[in-house]
Amino acid sequence: MFYLVRLAIRNIGRNKRRSVLAVVSVAISLMVIVFAQGFIGGFVASFVKNATKNEAGHIRIASKKFEERSRFYPVAYNVAAPDSIIASIQRDPAIASDIALITQRITFGVLLSFGGNSRSAIALAGDPAKEERLLYLQKSILPPGRYLSGRREIIMGSALAASLHFRVGDTVRVMTSGSDYALHLKKFVITGLFSTGLNVFDDMMFQINIDDARDLLAMGNATQQIVIMLGDYRKADKVAARIRSLIPDTSISVTPWTKIGDTYTTVVLVQRVYGWIYIIIALLGAFIISNIMMMVVMERRKEIGILKSMGFTRREILTMFLFEGMALGFVGSLAGAALGLGLVAFFHVHGLDLTAYMSRMSIPLDNVIYTTLSAAGLAYSIVLGTVLSAFVSIAPARQAARMNVVDAIKSV
Amino acid sequence: MKGLTMNKIITFVVCLLSAHVSFGITPDEILSAIDKNRNYGAISYDATMEIHVGDEVRTKTMKTLGRGTEKALAEFTNPQDKGTKYLKINKELWIYFPSEQDVVKISGHMLKEGMMGSDVSYEDALESDALHKKFAAVLTGEEIFEGHPCYVLTLDALVKDVPYYKRKMWVDKELFIQWKEEMYAKSGTLLKVSHVLEMKKIGLRHFPTKIEMVNMLRKNTKTVFEMSDIVFDVKVADNVFSLQNLQR
Amino acid sequence: MDMILKIALRNIGRHKRRTFLSAVTIAAGLIVFILIDSTLTGIDRMSIDNMITLSSGALKIQTVTYDKEKNTFPLNYGMGEELSKVRAALALDKRVLHATRRTQFLGQLSNYDETIPVVGTVVDEAADTMVFGLKPYITGSYFGPDNGREILIGRQLAQDLGVGVGDNITLYALTKYDSRNADQFRIAGLLNTADPTINHSGVFITYTAANEFLDLENTVSELDVSTKRNSNLGVFSHDVKEIQATLQHQFPSLRVNTFLDLGAGVLELTRAKRVAGIIFMAVILVIAVVGIFNTVFMSVYERIREIGVLRAHGLKPRDITFMFVLEGFITGLFGSALGIMVGSLANMYLVVTGIPMEKMVGKIATASYGISGNIYGEWNLPAMGIAFCLGMLVATVAGIIPARRASKIQVTQALRFA
């Protein structure tokens, strides 16, 4: 068996140009496949981030009663000591490095009062600096407004403001029922109006500082939600379980994004669709290899004839060509994977900014895609490349094996 | 002779007629009597509102000044709401918040919401319309309700823009107070039931001092409103019931 | 020149298999490109189609006042006499299929334990099925003939309330005259659609029910219109916008919105996905190009001896290069043509019949997302044009470099090349 391998390798070396060509084309296909993997991974990560950042994030810590009634955004069921919970999470060596962002939020329904009328709206209260990386509403602010910086400031959806005849600089009275079941009022100044292009934001929402919300809702130091974003969205279940073990209070629940809403199902859907595309790319790469192998066999008819006349069996010829194909495929896969890895690593750190391709710059989505690195994926690609190369070499190898000796020797 | 007979017949007929009139009270008369009872000039009282939601009870306390059913000023004294004031003038409601020293007007659909999460809506609290204007009343019977002999009146809305299409009242025959009232939706679904739990005689008046309101569509909830230290005909300047006063 | 062409043609004829392989590579690249582009476009189009058939219709017509107040879902500001005039105007345009009236209201659904705020829609049960496609997503049944007390609710909503088909549920709402009403309705069916808003808070009753329950007096808050579907989104959008412009001009007191105006959110997401799609297209093109290049490149090198012979016959290097270019051009032409033809045939199937969504993404889609139906392809002629030209270009150009190199080798060396 081994002599066949040696022969195969020697053959590869003999026709360097052809081998290089084969290796290069496999390498290019593999590079594309590995990059595609990283890109799809990054795209899905971006999708998950955008789908969850406005609501529960990758992981949400909130009271069980809140989660049950989350549809109503209740303010009466809260997390009592959020700062200490956050501190304990940040101190825990097992997960501290997985956390990209951890912040407190309160979302609640209110009545905005103007003139003699009131209109209902939804308040998003959080840490303005951190919300710049989550809600992204600072991207959508219409000039001459500005984003939030201090207390008692509010930014509001442009359509909501228009329906209430509010403008930048106006005072808004926000009235709502607090966690103590009493009615409370607080005045805010509009520093900016945002137009995201999405009705759900522009018609119904406004953002304020969470400390103001705590005052308004008589919440003291408690919070309604602790929202966590991870570096890798795939770790949510594991990290959530770990956080669960850090919080002894059983009235509090720690929920990963996979368990909230339809996002998880959508992600699986998206991955399946892209999975198909991925396979097609791989097949295309394989097709090229088969192309080359067929030509190789065609060109070496004479050589095959000689080998056969020397006594090589059909099976040996088949095996030899198969090895050639596999070896070429393997080398090409390694090279391609290495190149692809380089690309993925680069974009993993620097990110691919797609903002320029979005039709509106003001959409509050994160448009930067960070490719994902996966050792398993890489290994899979290399194996895929090699196996496909071998597979695709079968037909031409068979053809070689079946050649008529005499005709073969006669060919030029 | 003829004249005398004529006279007799006329007298007889008149007697018959007046007999009809004096046999039973009309629904409109009952309603008018109720309305008259509610017209008590100036009043001041302390009140407690207990909001029962499942096992939880939240208690609000307030001091109230009122003039008839058109004007009222209430200031809350329980810790969570301390200093908050409500001003009602006819069908309008304003709320003053001490923390911001600011006033907000409640209108539109919010009036239909329960006040402070209770089963009493702002609309219910603000209601001051003379009932006979918007409802056609029918006397459907007489019942003894919790030991009190009552007229049972059924009111059907005459116009479409009333909060409750149909109402049923148990009115004390002597005192003309509603011991119980059921409020129905257009479909006939029972929406709310109000029930006078306690009544006191203060001076010459009979006044309901403890009222329970139940929202039939919410499970396990009820609101109990109790008044104490009731004083009638207090000296209250009219400008007390004004926005300027509210903001002070 | 003439002679070279003849030689080129003859060479192609002689190396049939090789030529065929090259052509097939080109064709394969093109076919894959066309189909994937069409499928990705089809997936995006599906989201838009879903939006049109579930909530927005192709066009939505309301009064200007209603449009301003629509966030409070008033039962006033309905379309009065304009309604019949608009219907008449719509009937004149052949692209319009059907129009149906609808009215929205705010309400609450209660199972006595829990009360959930909902957005209710009053529908004309017969006409509604001509414009909106809710029926296929119903578990249970659609409105029957005696529907005065029937209701359709979103499946998630039903789950949250712990009710199912056949159960009774209390609906509260304010009537047109702001009087409170509450009544029991029987759940005829549950809706599980691709629109999460319908599944989570959608409630539907008929005008028969609403006239009684809401004192609606047949107030119509919107007229929703369906139009003929065009497989090309650009053309479809253009047609719809044209209809919008005509109507808007005729009826200044009305606000005519198209699905483009109403679905900004959905369209944005579609565009975002498109970017990823474009990157994939580029990737596929790269691979196709590499394949073509490879094949042509190699075939040139395999014929070095032949080149030697030609040189020995007196052909200049320039002529030889040109010969290969010609061969490449012809192969490219053949391959690209083949690719476009087969690709178009396959695409036609995609456009007309489509692929059922379940085949692509499995049961998970229908089970939880309520997506069913087909992904329809779309003709993208500019893209096909680009692919065609690219295929030809690469095939033509790929031979230049190796041919030049090869033709510069000493004739004797070349002849000896094996």
pLDDT greater than 50 at residue B11: no
Cα separation, C397 vs C26, in Å, equals 13
Nearest neighbour of C175 by CB, restricted to B186, B217, B219 = B186
Average of per-residue pLDDT across A159-175: 89
Instruction: Write out chain C residues lying below 8 Å of B187, CB-based.
Output: 181-183, 212-213
DSSP C119-166: EEEEE-HHHHHHH---GGGEEE----SS-TTEEEEEHHHHHHHT--TT
DSSP E strands: which ranges in chain B?
Answer: 42-53, 56-67, 71-76, 85-89, 92-97, 102-106, 135-145, 148-157, 166-172, 178-184, 190-202, 205-215, 221-232
Instruction: Write out chain B residues lying below 8 Å of C112, CB-based.
Output: 217, 219
For position B54, what pLDDT does the model report?
A: 84
Query: 3-class DSSP state for residue C175?
Result: coil
For position B1, what pLDDT does the model report?
A: 44
How do the residues of chain A divide into helix, strand and coil, expressed in percent and rounded to 5? 55, 20, 25
Average the pLDDT over each of A236-245, A324-333, B145-154, C49-58 and give the range with the smallest value: A324-333
**pLDDT, tens digit (0-9, with 9 covering 90-100), for B209-220:** 999 999 888 888
**pLDDT, tens digit (0-9, with 9 covering 90-100), for A296-307:** 776 677 778 888
Type of residue at B212: E
Half-sphere exposure of A372 (CA within 13 A, CB side): 17
Choose from B91, B124, B217, B221 for mutation: most chain C CBs within 10 A. B217
pLDDT greater than 70 at residue B170: yes
How close B184 gets to chain C, by Cα (Å)?
Answer: 8
Task: Determine contact, residues A75/A63, Cβ cutoff 8 Å.
Answer: no
Number of Cβ pairs < 8 A linking chain A and chain C? 119
Identify which of A31-45, B44-58, C324-338 has the greatest average pLDDT.
B44-58
Average the pLDDT over each of A91-95, A115-119, A309-313, C318-322 and give the range with the smallest value: A115-119
How do the residues of chain C divide into helix, strand and coil, expressed in percent and rounded to 5? 60, 20, 20
For position C184, what pLDDT does the model report?
A: 92
For position C272, what pLDDT does the model report?
A: 63
- Strand A183-194, strand A153-157: pairing: parallel
| Grouped pLDDT means (10 residues each) for chain C, 418 residues | 78 77 81 84 83 90 87 85 91 92 92 85 93 90 90 92 93 89 94 86 94 92 93 90 93 92 72 68 71 69 76 82 82 88 92 76 53 76 86 79 72 66
Exposed / middle / buried, residue B240 (Cβ in 10 Å: 0-12, 13-18, 19+):
middle
For position B17, what pLDDT does the model report?
A: 44
Instruction: Write out chain C residues lying below 8 Å of A43, CB-based.
Output: 276
φ and ψ at residue B102, rounded to 5 degrees: -140, 155
For position C316, what pLDDT does the model report?
A: 82
How distant is the alpha carbon of residue A75 from its chain centre? 32
> Would you state the structure tokens that stand for residue B87, as one six-digit string?
């001003």
DSSP A163-192: HTT--TT-EEEEEEE-TTS-EEEEEEEEEE
Nearest neighbour of B217 by CB, restricted to C172, C177, C212 = C172
A115: left (phi over 0), alpha (psi -120 to 50) or beta: left
For position B7, what pLDDT does the model report?
A: 54
Identify which of A59-63, B113-117, B234-238, C412-416 has the greatest average pLDDT.
A59-63
How distant is the alpha carbon of residue A52 from its chain centre? 12
Q: How many CB atoms are closer than 10 A to CB C17? A: 11
φ and ψ at residue C171, rounded to 5 degrees: -110, 130
For position B15, what pLDDT does the model report?
A: 42
Query: What is the torsional sign of CA A364, A368, A374, A377?
Result: positive
H-state helical runs in A164-313? 199-202, 210-216, 236-246, 263-299, 301-309
Q: Which residues contact A227 (CB under 8 A, 6 or more apart)?
A: A56, A57, A59, A60, A102, A103, A104, A105, A134
- Strand A153-157, strand A99-114: pairing: unpaired
Asked if omega into A144 is within 30° of 0 (cis), the reply is yes
Q: How confident is the model at residue B128 (pLDDT cuts 50, 70, 90)?
A: low
Q: How far is CA A161 from CA A76, A142, A190, A195, C67, in A?
A: 28, 12, 10, 11, 16
φ and ψ at residue B60, rounded to 5 degrees: -115, 140
- Does the beta-carbon distance from B161 to C213 stay under 8 Å? no
Structural domain B27-246, CATH architecture? Clam (2.50)
What is this model's ipTM?
0.75
For position C273, what pLDDT does the model report?
A: 67
Q: Which helix (H) or strand (E) holds C185?
A: strand C180-191
- Does the beta-carbon distance from A181 to B80 stay under 8 Å? yes
DSSP A79-96: BS-HHHHHHHHHH-TTTG
> C363-382 in b/e burial notation, b at 16+ Cβ within 10 A?
eebbebbbbebbbbbbbbee
Task: Determine contact, residues A181/A233, Cβ cutoff 8 Å.
Answer: no
> Would you state the structure tokens that stand for residue C113, as one six-digit string?
């334990």
Q: How many CB atoms are closer than 10 A to CB B91? A: 14
How distant is the alpha carbon of residue C60 from its chain centre? 21
For position A386, what pLDDT does the model report?
A: 84
Cα separation, A128 vs A119, in Å, equals 24
Task: Determine contact, residues C181/B186, Cβ cutoff 8 Å.
Answer: yes
How do the residues of chain B divide into helix, strand and coil, expressed in percent and rounded to 5? 25, 50, 25
Q: Which residues contact A84 (CB under 8 A, 6 or more apart)?
A: none
Kindly state whether B107 is in contact with chain A, defined as any CB-CB distance less than 8 angstroms: yes
For position C417, what pLDDT does the model report?
A: 58
pLDDT greater than 50 at residue B20: no
Instruction: Write out chain B residues lying below 8 Å of C182, CB-based.
Output: 185, 187, 189, 191, 217
For position C37, what pLDDT does the model report?
A: 83
Question: Helices C233-250 & C82-92, crossing angle to 10 degrees?
Answer: 140
For position B18, what pLDDT does the model report?
A: 42
Q: Provide the residue ranges of all domains of chain B, joining segments of one domain with +.
A: 27-246
Exposed / middle / buried, residue C179 (Cβ in 10 Å: 0-12, 13-18, 19+):
buried
Task: Determine contact, residues A397/A11, Cβ cutoff 8 Å.
Answer: no
> Would you state the structure tokens that stand for residue B205, as one six-digit string?
């008046």
Q: How many CB atoms are closer than 10 A to CB B124? A: 20
Which letter does DSSP use for residue C174 in this model? E
Choose from B53, B184, B187, B215 for mutation: most chain C CBs within 10 A. B187
Question: Helices A263-299 & C16-51, crossing angle to 10 degrees?
Answer: 170
Helices (H) and strands (E) in chain C, counts: 18, 12
Q: How confident is the model at residue B61 (pLDDT cuts 50, 70, 90)?
A: very high
Query: 3-class DSSP state for residue A342?
Result: helix
Query: What is the rounded end-to-end Cα distance, in angstroms, of chain C?
Result: 29
Q: Which residues contact C356 (CB under 8 A, 6 or more apart)?
A: C372, C373, C374, C375
Q: Which helix (H) or strand (E) holds C256?
A: strand C254-258
Q: Which helix (H) or strand (E) holds B121?
A: none
pLDDT greater than 50 at residue B153: yes
Helices (H) and strands (E) in chain B, counts: 5, 13
How close B48 gets to chain A, by Cα (Å)?
Answer: 14
Average the pLDDT over each of A110-114, B69-73, B114-118, B125-129 and give the range with the smallest value: B125-129
DSSP A24-76: HHHHHHHHHHHHHHHHHHHHHHHHHHHHHTTTTBSEEEEEHHHHHTGGG--SS
Top pLDDT among A104 and A290 is at: A104
Question: Helices A16-52 & C264-302, crossing angle to 10 degrees?
Answer: 170
Query: What is the rounded end-to-end Cα distance, in angstroms, of chain A?
Result: 29
- Does the beta-carbon distance from B117 to A177 stay under 8 Å? yes
Type of residue at C4: I
Type of residue at A235: K
Kindly state whether C182 is in contact with chain B, defined as any CB-CB distance less than 8 angstroms: yes
Q: How far is CA A217 from CA A79, B94, B111, in A?
A: 14, 20, 21
The alpha carbon torsion through C61, C63, C66, C71 (nearest 10 deg) reads: 20
Top pLDDT among B40 and A193 is at: A193
Nearest neighbour of B110 by CB, restricted to A118, A180, A182 = A118
For position C224, what pLDDT does the model report?
A: 95
For position B132, what pLDDT does the model report?
A: 67
How close C8 gets to chain A, by Cα (Å)?
Answer: 20
What is the average pLDDT value for chain B, to the nearest integer? 81
Kindly state whether C177 is in contact with chain B, defined as any CB-CB distance less than 8 angstroms: yes
Q: How confident is the model at residue A403 (pLDDT cuts 50, 70, 90)?
A: confident
For position A107, what pLDDT does the model report?
A: 94
Q: How confident is the model at residue A378 (pLDDT cuts 50, 70, 90)?
A: confident
Helices (H) and strands (E) in chain A, counts: 14, 11
Nearest neighbour of C71 by CB, restricted to A21, A203, A294 = A203
Exposed / middle / buried, residue C305 (Cβ in 10 Å: 0-12, 13-18, 19+):
middle
